[in-house]
Structure formats: C-alpha cells, structure tokens
Amino acid sequence: MEFRKVFDSIPEQFDKYRPRYSPELFADLIKYADIGPGKKVLELGPGTGQATEPILKTGCDYNAIELGENFYAKMNEKFGSYENFHIVNDDFITHDFGDQRFDMIYSAATIQWIPERVAFPKTFELLKPGGVLAMMLLHGDYKTPNEALYDRIQGVYGEYYKPEKQYKDMKEPFDYLHATDYGYVDFERRDFYGRREFTADEYVMYCGTHSDHMVIPEPYKTKFFEGLREAVLEFGNKVVFNDTYILYLTRKP
C-alpha cells in the first residue's frame, strides 16, 4: 500500500483518536483570511474532518480533495448534509481543477505528504491573487508533564519500534519554511496551545493511527503496543500531552 494511504485502512479509529485543532486557531485563521459566504476554500487531504467543521460552518464554498476512499466516504457521511460541502476522491498531485481558483487553501498535517516541488507551485497556481495558504500541524509534548513516564515509553520504543521504513523515509523532502522559495510572501508562524489526556487503552489506539507505527512488522508490533499500554498503566493509567498547534500562514501576491 502507498504510504500516503496507510491511514485510510482505519477510518473509524482515525476519526475517534486523531486530535482536533484549537478553536482559537480557527478563529484566528478565519479572521486572517476573511473566510465566509462568497469565499471559496480548498482543504487538502481532510482525512475524516479533524479540521473541516469550523471552516465549513462559516458558510464558505468548502471544497476538499481526499486520496483515501474510506476517508472520502467518512467525510460524506459526516458533512454531506451541508449544502456548501463539496469533496472529490482523487490525488491532489494529478487532479485537474480546471478553472477553479480559491481564496484559501489549507492543510492540517497533510501537505507535507506532497513533494514541495509539487505542493507549493500547484497551490500557488490555484490561489486567487492575495489568496492564503494555511498549513497547520501539531506538536505534542508528553515529556514535560511526566518525565519518568516519558523515559519509560522511550524504552519501549528502543526495544520494539522497528518499522521497515522510518517516517522521514516514507515521503519526499518537504519543509514548510520553503514556501517563499516558490513565490509566496508574508510568511509567518502563529502558535496556539491545548491539552490532551489519555488512558492506557486510548493512548495505544491513538499511537495506532501513526503511519510509521502502523507498519511495524510482527512480532515487534504486538510487543510494541503492549509495551506502551503497560507503561501508561504503571504510571496511573494516564498520559498527558501539552499540545502546541502550529499555524503557518503565507499569501500569493
């Protein structure tokens, strides 16, 4: 299976356990890009909609392109009743958007799966003059809340985390900071903050939505997830994440 589609094999688990982004981030983004009725927006690879609803509810002309067949079906199940919701099941890299042009294109931890030599020029072409490219991602810190648990979990990784291919090797090089190399201007980063808390079972299910974790071969895979569960149980059946939601913003002149 193509690594970009690994996630598509677990749509229900992905939908339940993948993190959402902060309301403050969306409020800031909507204000910055002036999104609402009359504006045309494209979301790249929405998955099961972790970053969809706040934009959709502005009343904009919401469009999405999703590579995974199961994710596409889940998106239609969740949002198909909205009159302003439109989605296609196709590959952004090869899809022909015709004469469509957008006021904003955005991605929640998706655009980095597209080679930057494709991602930046194609989004640039698809944006109207002055249009916004917004790229968000999450950095989760579970070391600060409990360093002893963090060290215990790292021991599990050291013993059993043996994927056939590392995450960094699953995709072509991509750097958010390179946007301005392709004509974009006014690049900036804005940070927002949140907190998540998991039980041992929830943490295992969440880790099971990471592409590199999903492809660990047996017998390591079972031992890896069992080790994670045991580690969290040893520390009170709770793991806490201090989250930083990173929003990169840039514009087409």
Q: How confident is the model at residue 164, as a pLDDT?
A: 77
Do 194 and 188 meet the contact criterion of CB atoms below 8 Å apart? no
Tally of CB atoms within 10 A around 1: 9
pLDDT digits (tens, 9 = 90+) for 80-101: 999 999 999 999 999 999 999 9
**CA angle in degrees (0–180, nearest 5) for 48-18-120:** 65
d(CA 71, CA 14) in angstroms, rounded, equals: 9
Tokens of 148: 């002893």
Q: Under CATH, which architecture does the 3-251 domain have?
A: 3-Layer(aba) Sandwich (3.40)
pLDDT digits (tens, 9 = 90+) for 148-193: 999 999 999 999 999 876 655 556 779 999 999 999 999 999 999 9
Q: How confident is the model at residue 36, as a pLDDT?
A: 98
Strand partners, 137: 246
Instruction: Count the alpha carbons within 13 Å of 233 in the hemisphere toward its beta carbon.
Output: 8
Residues lower than pLDDT 50 in the chain: 1
Q: How confident is the model at residue 177, as a pLDDT?
A: 96
61-66, strands of its sheet edge to edge? 85-89, 61-66, 40-44, 102-108, 127-141, 239-251, 185-198
pTM here?
0.94
Tokens of 14: 């992905």
d(CA 114, CA 15) in angstroms, rounded, equals: 22
d(CA 118, CA 109) in angstroms, rounded, equals: 16
Tokens 């808390």 locate to 197
Domain boundaries, the chain: 3-251
d(CA 159, CA 193) in angstroms, rounded, equals: 32
